[in-house]
Amino acid sequence: MSVKREGPALKSFACRDAGVICNARVTGETEAEVLAKAVEHAREKHGVDLTQSSTLANYAKGLIHDDAEAAAS
């Protein structure tokens, strides 16, 4: 029998999934929330402005997934 998490599933993005040597992982309740946090992190920590490139922003958005780690807790 599986246990289902109550409430919305968390989403997450990890820099390492994008091929960046960085242990940062951002989470949120929606893709939009996670993407906003990832954009801010990329700007502050990596000097990359994802808002200037729709290709990079779409790539980052494609790497957002359900956060199984948070759902298991």
What residue segments make up the domains of the chain, in order of their start? 11-68
pLDDT digits (tens, 9 = 90+) for 12-64: 999 999 999 999 999 999 999 999 999 999 999 999 898 888 888 888 999 99
C-alpha dist (Å) from residue 48 to 24, 41, 63, 70:
15, 9, 17, 27
Q: Give the C-alpha separation, 27 to 12, whole Å.
A: 4
| CA–CA gap between residue 65 and residue 73 (Å, rounded) | 17
Residue 72 in this model has a pLDDT that exceeds 70:
no
CB burial class (10 A; 0-12, 13-18, 19+) of residue 68? exposed
Q: How far from 5 is each of 9, 51, 52, CA to CA, in Å?
A: 7, 33, 36
Per the model's pLDDT, the better-predicted residue between 61 and 3 turns out to be 61
